[in-house]
Structure 1
Amino acid sequence: MPVARSSKAQSSKQPRASKAPSVTENVPQEKEEGCQAKRSPSSPQGGPKKRSAFGDITNAHKNQTVTGKKEGVKAPTHKATRAPPAPIVAKNNEINLKKSLRKTPPTDVPVEPEKDSVSEEPVQQVLVVEDIDKEQLGDPYANAEYAKEIFDYMREREEKFQLPDYMEKQPDISRDMRAILVDWMVEVQENFELNHETLYLAVKLVDHYLVEVVSMRDKLQLIGSTAVLIASKFEERCPPCVDDFLYICDDAYKREELIAMETSILRTLNFDINIPIPYRFLRRFAKCARASMETLTLARFLCEMTLQEYDYARERPSKLAASSLLLALTMKNLGGWTPTLEYYSGYCAQDLHPLVKRLNFLLTYQPCDKLKAVRTKYSHRVFFEVAKTTPMDMMKLEEKLKS
């Protein structure tokens, strides 16, 4: 029995010794093929295809085993059967093998960490940016599945509705007259209990109409009331009738004039009145910040203050809404501009700082004390009396924005 065991051991060791190089070849090949099978689904022979980087590493391992065989066989016969250049070639092969052994480990090390670092980047972004539409996926009225695309489309339409400086073409209308008109339109919106979207859209209709048509001051109120009528039909479920608008104008215009002005505005704007307004973006961004109703109302007050100011009419609605919310968050000490807000708004905090400072200056120094419709409106308890909020000091605001 001991003799049989030794004979089996000898017979099994000999083929294993001869097949040892092939075992060392198969181990890296299986690992590489497992990696490559996911990256190249098809190849001419139907098997997994290898990339050049992994192919070079595989060839290096193969060269090591093959040349090892040749050197092991030919080493004892160098001096007797080979010419003098043969030892030089063998030494060169040994040097190349040593170099390849030294080079292959560092090539394996950087490849895997680079893959891990690349795969971790989107994971970090997903963890930081919150999906604000996830909670309303089951609500058919929220359109949560298309909310992101809808607001991206509104951002694109901002390019089409950029306002030029049209006051230079209006010889009989000034900025102060426009401010008085908007102040009156705020009172109309409050008396009729219209949506805020109706007010913002009506002001946009007035501006875009005055870009194309030169008007006289005696027709300015007619333009404003007609713009509110059109916006009410677009936004409201039950819009006021024509007689209501004639009444609020103190019967200064006739029914025919109001209907004619409605036709003129719609034809001038080519019936394209779906104009992006800051109020829609503001509600969207407040949802991203998970702001309370009081904070949202303060941002609405800041944004509505800009309706009377002609200098803010040419600002992008989305940027104006984002700046109003950032100032409201800063005034309430609720933090700054989060990655979620940056993702959904498209603006980083540095892009909004100049406009935030201008809004705080407007809140501190109101140009005209006679136009108090917005302040009076937001001084009511329904709006949390946000108009009575103390404006921030400009130096403190700048320090907070930098921090």
Structure 2
Amino acid sequence: MADKENAPAAAAAGPRLTRSAAKRAAEAAAGAPAKRKRVALGELPALAANAATVHRTPLARPVKPARGAAKAARPGKPVPRPAAAPAAAADAEAERCGSSSPRRAAGAADPDRDSSASNSPPRAAAAADPDRDSSASSSPPPRAAGAGALGNPQLCGSYASDIYTYHRALEVEPRRRPRSDYIEAVQSDVTANMRTILVDWLVEVAEEYKLVADTLYLAISYVDRFLSANALSRDKLQLLGVAAMLIAAKYEEISPPHAEDFCYITDNTYTKQELLKTESEILKLLQFELGNPTIKTFLRRFTRSAHEDKKRSILLMEFLGSYLAELSLLDYGCLRFLPSVVAASVMFVARLTIDPDVNPWNKKLQKVTGYKVSELKDCIVAIHDLQLNKKCSSVMAIRDKYKQHKFKFVSTLLPPVVIPTPYFEDLAE
């Protein structure tokens, strides 16, 4: 009734503004900069020449509360506490994996997962990966008297070695590997520089949508595997990138962005129908086998073994390793290396950067990774050149990302310009 009575007055006052319109008008009046900037990578050569990175803000969507959270929070009804895993299980698993550091505190494990904006509980599927589970704990559990290593079955300490062996077997399967020469052998309109620009942009998209690191690595893997089998025009390269990220997000994320969000982030250069069609083509090529191991899969395991200096926080090693691993995604030449080789080489360069006076490689790392330093030399040199800006220096998204305080400014750290020759000599048995 009140609305009907006020209708003539409202009509006389003009059209009614929505909350969003009123907010935009207030920001415009205050001179606030526009936040939502979208981009189309239609002119890839021009973007390469200008070396410009454009930041975009995704559409905000409300986060759904966990099922039963509202019911449990009703007045007069106590909220049950989740059972905490014994710390002894974490210490035993860390020792079994070859780590000299104790279990980490809340949020200290994965910089990319720490930056996630998701408030939902972790996936139950995470229990299948012992490295991911032990590095993504929400809080340090209290130590229980007499608790053994088998107290927390999610750590899968007894199976960590077998799972690592399984991942090493998966990564060498030809159907899970992209061609290292597909730019020369398959593509006629797409160049290595265009691929670098696309990867750099996908890093920005993953950062702004708060996607986990595994989503980014899988998306780039799908892009390379698709381009290894199908010639593509340059105007469809961005479409391929967002379609691959849509698939990876559905596989990895708790609350993945919608197809409309990925269309929006490209400035609506592509329609939803085009995006879904490309998604279908990628899935057919992959034969719906989406869960291959990536650099991040091995990096989680190697980081605990590489961290030996108890005076320094393991966060520095983790952030620096993540930074170097993402830099390797930019380089088309790194496709010839297996993900485990890249992860092991990243640990070498990270340790060299943190403490250049000590040989970065030791018997412990050699045992955990299964590689001698001579087998990693070419990959180490490639990552070292990326860190020194000798390659892919025109794209800055990853370097800017890890220049933030929350990542301890690791992109500002530089290793020695020349790696000492003795560091490449194999260790004596």
**TM-score normalized by the length of structure 2:** 0.60
Deviations 1:214-234 (A, max 9, x none): 111111101000111111111
**Residue 392 of structure 1: aligned partner:** 416
**Residue 145 of structure 1: aligned partner:** 158
Deviations 1:161-199 (A, max 9, x none): 333211121111000110110010000000001111110
Whole-angstrom distance in 2 between the partners of 1:194 and 1:352: 30
Question: Is 1:222 aligned with 2:228?
Answer: no
Q: Pick the aligned partner of 2:352 from 327, 330, 336.
A: 330
**Residue 210 of structure 1: aligned partner:** 227
Whole-angstrom distance in 2 between the partners of 1:138 and 1:253: 51
Whole-angstrom distance in 1 between the partners of 2:348 and 2:215: 24
- 1:398: Cα distance to partner? 2.9
Question: Is 1:303 aligned with 2:332?
Answer: no
Q: Pick the aligned partner of 1:166 from 164, 182, 189.
A: 182
Whole-angstrom distance in 1 between the partners of 2:304 and 2:265: 36
- 1:143: Cα distance to partner? 2.4
Whole-angstrom distance in 1 between the partners of 2:384 and 2:276: 40
Whole-angstrom distance in 2 between the partners of 1:151 and 1:204: 19
Decide whether aligned partners of structure 1 residues 154 and 337 sit closer, same or farther in structure 2, where only a CA change above 3 A counts: same
**Residue 284 of structure 1: aligned partner:** 301
Aligned-partner SS, 1:163: coil
Q: How does 1:350-365 map to 2 (within 5 A)?
A: 350-365=374-389
Q: Which runs of 5+ in 1 are unaligned?
A: 1-128
Q: How does 1:87-102 map to 2 (within 5 A)?
A: none
Contact 1:299/1:325, CA 8 A, preserved across alignment: yes
**Residue 131 of structure 1: aligned partner:** 96
Deviations 1:105-126 (A, max 9, x none): xxxxxxxxxxxxxxxxxxxxxx
Whole-angstrom distance in 1 between the partners of 2:325 and 2:150: 29
Whole-angstrom distance in 2 between the partners of 1:255 and 1:224: 14
Aligned-partner SS, 1:146: helix
Whole-angstrom distance in 2 between the partners of 1:130 and 1:347: 20
**Residue 320 of structure 1: aligned partner:** 342
Contact 2:337/2:379, CA 8 A, preserved across alignment: no
Aligned-partner SS, 2:366: helix
Whole-angstrom distance in 2 between the partners of 1:345 and 1:181: 31
Decide whether aligned partners of structure 1 residues 368 and 278 sit closer, same or farther in structure 2, where only a CA change above 3 A counts: closer
Whole-angstrom distance in 2 between the partners of 1:163 and 1:397: 33
Whole-angstrom distance in 1 between the partners of 2:394 and 2:352: 28
Whole-angstrom distance in 1 between the partners of 2:416 and 2:270: 44
> AA paired with 2:330?
Q
- 1:140: Cα distance to partner? 3.2
- 1:248: Cα distance to partner? 0.4
Decide whether aligned partners of structure 1 residues 130 and 232 sit closer, same or farther in structure 2, where only a CA change above 3 A counts: same
**Residue 252 of structure 1: aligned partner:** 269
Q: Pick the aligned partner of 1:342 from 358, 366, 371.
A: 366
Whole-angstrom distance in 2 between the partners of 1:221 and 1:322: 31
Whole-angstrom distance in 2 between the partners of 1:189 and 1:241: 13
> AA paired with 2:178?
L
What is the percentage of aligned positions where both structures have the same residue? 35
Contact 1:278/1:318, CA 8 A, preserved across alignment: yes
Aligned-partner SS, 1:313: helix
**Residue 196 of structure 1: aligned partner:** 213
- 1:340: Cα distance to partner? 2.9
**Residue 167 of structure 2: aligned partner:** 154
Q: Which runs of 5+ in 2 are unaligned?
A: 1-93, 104-148, 309-313
Q: Pick the aligned partner of 1:182 from 184, 199, 203.
A: 199
Number of equivalenced pairs: 274
Whole-angstrom distance in 1 between the partners of 2:377 and 2:183: 27
Decide whether aligned partners of structure 1 residues 337 and 364 sit closer, same or farther in structure 2, where only a CA change above 3 A counts: same
**TM-score normalized by the length of structure 1:** 0.64
- 1:130: Cα distance to partner? 5.4
Contact 2:402/2:408, CA 8 A, preserved across alignment: yes
Which of structures 1 and 2 has the larger relative contact order (alpha carbons within 8 angstroms, sep 6+)?
2
